[in-house]
Amino acid sequence: MAARAQNFVCQSCGAAAARWAGRCEACGEWNTMVEEGALAPARSSRKGRVFVIEPLKGATHEAPRAASGIAEFDRVTGGGLVRGSVLLLGGDPGIGKSTLLLEVAAAFARARHRAVYISGEEAVAQVRLRAERLGLSEATVELAAETAVEDIVATLSHGAIPRLLVIDSIQTMWTQAVEAAPGTVTQVRGSAAELIRFAKRTGSAVILVGHVTKDGQIAGPRVVEHMVDAVLSFEGEGSQQFRILRAIKNRFGPTDEIGVFEMTGAGLREVANPSELFLSERDLGSPGTAVFAGIEGTRPLLVEIQALVAPTTLGTPRRAVVGWDASRLSMVLAVLEAHCGVRLSGHDVYLNVAGGLRIQEPAADVAAAAALVSSLTHAPLPADAVYFGEVSLSGAVRPVAQTAARLKEAQKLGFTRAVAPESARNESPDGVALKTVGALADLVADIARDGTAPLRRVGRPDG
Ligand code: TYD
Ligand code: MG
């Protein structure tokens, strides 16, 4: 018998190599290569089995999706869980993944679907304790503390097929199909493959919980992300009560919707109007804050953008950004410098999106620029104004999508002014005074006029 080829697998990205190396060639991480068994035992003598090929056109008997009734969860999944689909839910430890999924399982049970919750991390008693705290002790969720995938699949293949199976977490599962030690990438991948097969075979929706590493990746295998139908991430600042559920990948739904929850003493509460939450602790009247009228998925969302611009003591000034794209900030700073006469090269710049939200829209450019200039010139922005618009490299303010929805949300929350691109001219609802800006320089001049610190114009001496 020939010796089996050595199989070294990177514990960070899942790449395999024949030889050990100090650094993974695929992802560049150090000390992550670990020897593991081969993924599947060789079965060279097996002949192919003949299977039936079906036409594309055909009757689908059952409702393909089941909603949980938890609106924020259903929104992110695209209207509920598709039969036979597999979701991966990632998030920091302690963020509330187990809490969320126990609530989702209970919601399914309430709708008379069979929901099974398998915990590989906690004992049944601990899960019961959590259910009690959530007021769900009466829910007909079926529980087990198990880690052997074959046992789980064998148990659930009898009787009614569950409509929802929660595996908390995939890192604790192990399968006999592979030889590697529990917890290794190969085991996680093997266990996930087994559970995905179960989902596809039976039509049960499966949610796998995945731990997240320090740098925010779902621990171990990125490969599992490619195997599943949807990857959701549950995020939040440890110190704050908001939790945001976001789809990173979704074969059956949108990836730009977010679900907003608040962690309370009795579980997660849905937040139907997140703008109110994100604006609840505003620092009125101080310079450096602007309210951005954004859109997350289909829903408008107002959020405060905070900037701090301060003279630097370093040779290279600092640029730090939380909740927004760092390269977007660099671009806005470059445009301010090149087209608006705002000199920032001697200043440290900090930008923060309040409430732990992460914004991805370029429409936040104008709000970020307004906050930056406000901080630099010590000119507080009007407390009743919202800002949005994309800034182009030429310094022009470009139109953005869904202007009407942004303005309407602003009106609903009592804002009376909006600074927006020219294209918004005819879309303003009653009660919101619109100020359109064609060029960022106009806005900068407007803000600086009220400031106590003069703008240091490039190429012009002060005073
Ligand atoms: P948990 O769901 O165990 O997190 P994860 O599975 O992502 O590790 O949630 C743990 C945290 O949530 C813990 O710090 C306690 C807090 N919590 C509440 O604040 N209220 C609650 O009702 C529950 C169940 C947990
Ligand atoms: Mg947990």
Q: Which of 88, 92, 97, 99 to mutate to test the pocket of ligand 1 (most atoms within 8 A of CB)?
A: 99
The CA 93 to ligand 1 mean position distance, Å, reads 9
Atom of ligand 1 nearest to the CA of 101: 2
Statement: residue 38 has pLDDT above 70: no
Statement: residue 460 has pLDDT above 50: no
Q: Which residue has the tokens 């430890």?
A: 93
DSSP 462: -
Q: Which residue's CA lies nearest to atom 9 of ligand 1?
A: 96
Q: Which residue's CA lies nearest to atom 22 of ligand 1?
A: 267
Cβ of 142: how many Cβ atoms within 10 Å? 15
Determine the 3-state secondary structure of 327 from DSSP.
Answer: helix
CA-to-CA separations, 402 to 177, 246, 423, in angstroms, rounded: 51, 20, 11
Percentages (nearest 5) of helix, strand, coil residues in the chain? 25, 25, 45
Q: What is the distance between the alpha carbons of residues 334 and 407, in angstroms, rounded to a whole number?
A: 28
Share of the chain above pLDDT 90, in %: 57
**Are 445 and 419 within 8 A, CB to CB?**
no
The CA 295 to ligand 1 mean position distance, Å, reads 29
Helix axes 326-339, 365-377, angle to 10 degrees: 60
Q: How confident is the model at residue 181 (pLDDT cuts 50, 70, 90)?
A: confident
Q: Which residue has the tokens 């929805």?
A: 405
According to the model, what pLDDT value does residue 462 have?
Answer: 40
What burial class does residue 312 get, using C-beta atoms within 10 Å of its C-beta: 0-12 exposed, 13-18 middle, 19+ buried? Answer: middle
Whole-model pTM: value is 0.78
Atom of ligand 1 nearest to the CA of 100: 2
Q: Which residue's CA lies nearest to atom 15 of ligand 1?
A: 94
Across the range 283-311, mean pLDDT stands at 90
pLDDT digits over 130-160, tens only? 999 999 989 999 999 999 999 999 999 988 9
Name residues contacting ligand 1 (CB within 6 A).
91, 93-99, 130, 133-134, 263, 265-267
Ligand that comes closest to the CA of residue 130? 1
Across the range 384-388, mean pLDDT stands at 95
According to the model, what pLDDT value does residue 463 have?
Answer: 34
The CA 96 to ligand 2 mean position distance, Å, reads 7
According to the model, what pLDDT value does residue 117 have?
Answer: 97
Q: Is the dihedral of CA 237, 317, 335, 445 positive or negative?
A: positive
Q: Which residue's CA lies nearest to atom 13 of ligand 1?
A: 94
pLDDT digits over 51-78, tens only? 888 888 877 655 688 899 999 999 999 9
Across the range 261-289, mean pLDDT stands at 86
Lowest mean pLDDT among 297-301, 310-314, 335-339: 297-301
How confident is the prediction for the chain on average, in pLDDT? 87
Who wins on pLDDT, 87 or 62?
A: 87
The CA 97 to ligand 2 mean position distance, Å, reads 6
The CA 263 to ligand 1 mean position distance, Å, reads 8
The CA 168 to ligand 2 mean position distance, Å, reads 7
DSSP 452: S
Statement: residue 82 has pLDDT above 90: yes
Across the range 423-447, mean pLDDT stands at 90
Q: Which of 89, 167, 263 to mutate to test the pocket of ligand 1 (most atoms within 8 A of CB)?
A: 263
Q: Is the dihedral of CA 129, 135, 137, 141 positive or negative?
A: negative
